[in-house]
Each structure stands twice: as C-alpha cells, then as structure tokens.
Amino acid sequence: MVVDGALRAVRADPDLHLLLVGPTEVAGAVVDALDPVQRARITVRPVHAAVGMADHPSAARGESTVRAAVAAIRAGLADALVSAGSTGATVTAASLGLGRWPDVRRPALVATLPAVGGPVVLLDVGGSLEPRPGTLARHALFGAAYAAVAHAVAEPRVGLLSVGTETGKGDRARRQTDPALRAALLPCDARYVGLVEGYDVCLGTRADVVVTDGFTGNVLLKAVEGAYAMAGGPPAGGRAPRAAALLGVAGTVVVCHGAAVGEDVASGIALAAHLWRRGATDRVSALLYGGGTEDRTDRSTDTEVRT
C-alpha cells in the first residue's frame, strides 16, 4: 500500500521529494522500483517501531515512525507529513510535536467530498470524537477558512449537521451550537445557512462546508464512500476521498484512510504537497487569528513529504 502509493506519487510529481520513515526493507522496495533520476528524490530514515491500529493513541509518545516523522518536520527535514497509520496516534504526535493553534484543544480532520453541486468540505471526520458546542463552533471557522484557502470557494456556505433543518432539532450540542453560529462572525465572508441533513453532504446545493463531531463525521464519510461504491462512483466522475487534512496544528499533516490502497496514499501525498505549496496552514491560521488575506504564500514547487 505505502510502497505503491509512494511510487505513484513520485512518478506523478517531478518536483516531489519523499522522506520515507519506516523499516528499511519497505523503503528499499520503493527505491529499487524507481529509475536513477527518481531515486535521487527519495531519502530514507530507518525506524522499525510503529503504532498499531489497535494501540492507544498515547503510544505515539514513544519512539515510533509517526513520532520520528513529526521530528523530521520540526527539524526542517520535511515540509509535510502523510500517515496511513493510526489516526489517533498521528493526531497525538502532531499535536505534541508541532504544537496546536491558540485555544485549540482538539484538532479537526477535514475531508473534501465530491457532490452533485460541487465539492463539500466535511469536518470533523475523526480528529475529535466528543461533540462539544465550543468545538463545533470552532470547527465551523476552520472549515470556512479551509474552503476558501484550499479550494478557492468564495463566500463559503456553512451548515451544521443535524437530524432536521428546523431550529431546535438535534442533540444538546447542536441546539447550543446553532444559535452560537448564527451570531458568529465567520472568516472569508462565509455565511451560516443553519442546520443541514445527511443528504445535503451528497447534494452540495445548500452548503459548501458541513460541520459535525468526529464520531458522526467519520461514520458519515464511510457511509458515503460505500454508497458511491455501490452507485458506480461519485458524481461528475469524482473520487471519494481517503485522505483528510488535520487543522489546528502548526504544520501540514494529512491522514489517509485506514483501508487506503496505493492510489489513496498517492492522493494523500498529492494533497499534502498541494496544501504546503499554497501555504494553506499558515493562511488558514492567519485568517482565524490575524493577518487577514494578505498572506498569499506560493512556495517553491520542490516539496519534501514524509510518508
């Protein structure tokens, strides 16, 4: 999976450099399959300990591939992190190693889904599983800024996922978050459109950004993915995402689906490179915490991505 994804990514992007953190035998399989020119864009850092999918996220505090990858970013050896391992371990390692944005306790994973009316940004899809009004409201700000920066959506429409569109529908967290978002000043001239339902995520006609908690978002994402598979694919020839960007940490981090295949890992690497080249993390942070929209960072195309 990782080998296939890395090969696809390097062959598709001539300006991409990869720092492979993991067992030497796995990294060697990537290097051996490339021609000499492409091999020059691969660096290997041998690390054998990894956090398993069933391990507690706190296992990321010890020596592991994901912790070593975060350390590489902090040391300036890589620009972005892509992980197809444990989501909890990746979020924990990135939060501890890269630091979080001001007042952010729980970072969010954001995925972009192809929909009938255009792409829909969905968050959280697994970064924070507990729904809290303050977290949901903050993630609405994240989503609006991300849609504007990463996808150039003008005046993003933001909706809050619930079991009905009428005011007062939903659990306590949604009932408390809804009026807070109605009164909130959203970035990027975004506007809050109110409560939305699950089918609005697939239609994309009411909202460009849909906000929910990580538990519900992860379940919804995988249900939509399954529905697309049964229907023969997403609308307009799109592809269901199997990679999500982590917002709320001081760095470019992308987490791939636990069931990702090589093509998905390659897409995750491409997403990380795209976000770093656009200076997305810095620009979203500037929109939320000051600096306005003047930061138009367009970095060199040479990008070092850890996977």
The CATH number given to 1-102+248-275+299-307 is 3.40.718.10
Residue with the two structure tokens 């010890």: 62
- What phi, psi does 253 have (nearest 5°)? -135, 130
Query: Which has more pLDDT, 75 or 39?
Result: 75
In this predicted structure, the answer to whether residue 84 has a pLDDT above a threshold of 90 is: no
Q: What is the CA radius of gyration of the chain?
A: 19
Question: pLDDT tens digit string along 186-196?
Answer: 999 999 999 99
Instruction: Show Cβ contacts of residue 45 under 8 Å, excluding neighbours closer than 6 positions.
Output: 19, 20, 21, 68, 72
For range 245-260, the mean pLDDT: 88
pLDDT attached to residue 154:
93
Q: Where are the alpha helices (DSSP H) in the chain?
A: 2-12, 24-32, 36-39, 65-74, 87-98, 133-151, 172-183, 198-203, 214-231, 262-277, 280-289
Query: Which has more pLDDT, 291 or 208?
Result: 208
In this predicted structure, the answer to whether residue 284 has a pLDDT above a threshold of 60 is: yes
Quote the CA–CA distance of 107 and 128 in Å, as a whole number: 7
In this predicted structure, the answer to whether residue 51 has a pLDDT above a threshold of 60 is: no
Quote the CA–CA distance of 256 and 6 in Å, as a whole number: 13
Return the ∠ at Cα 12 (arms to 23 and 271), rounded to 5°: 75
- Domains 1-102+248-275+299-307 and 105-241 belong to one CATH topology: yes
| pLDDT bucket at 100, cuts 50 / 70 / 90 | very high
Quote the CA–CA distance of 119 and 115 in Å, as a whole number: 5
Q: Are 108 and 123 in contact, with CB atoms under 8 Å apart?
A: yes
**What single-letter DSSP state applies at residue 205?**
S
Query: Which has more pLDDT, 54 or 176?
Result: 176
pTM recorded for the entire structure: 0.85
Query: Which has more pLDDT, 183 or 52?
Result: 183
CATH superfamily of 105-241: Isopropylmalate Dehydrogenase (3.40.718.10)
Question: pLDDT tens digit string along 119-160?
Answer: 899 999 998 888 899 999 999 999 999 999 999 999 999 999
Quote the CA–CA distance of 195 and 140 in Å, as a whole number: 12
Per-domain residue ranges for the chain?
1-102+248-275+299-307, 105-241
pLDDT attached to residue 290:
81
Quote the CA–CA distance of 91 and 95 in Å, as a whole number: 6
pLDDT attached to residue 73:
92
pLDDT attached to residue 232:
79
For range 238-266, the mean pLDDT: 84
Quote the CA–CA distance of 54 and 174 in Å, as a whole number: 30
pLDDT attached to residue 60:
47
pLDDT attached to residue 304:
58
pLDDT attached to residue 221:
92
pLDDT attached to residue 296:
39
On average, the pLDDT of the chain sits at 84
In this predicted structure, the answer to whether residue 16 has a pLDDT above a threshold of 90 is: no
Q: What percent of the chain has pLDDT over 70?
A: 86
Tokens coding 66: 């994901």
| pLDDT bucket at 54, cuts 50 / 70 / 90 | very low
In this predicted structure, the answer to whether residue 260 has a pLDDT above a threshold of 50 is: yes
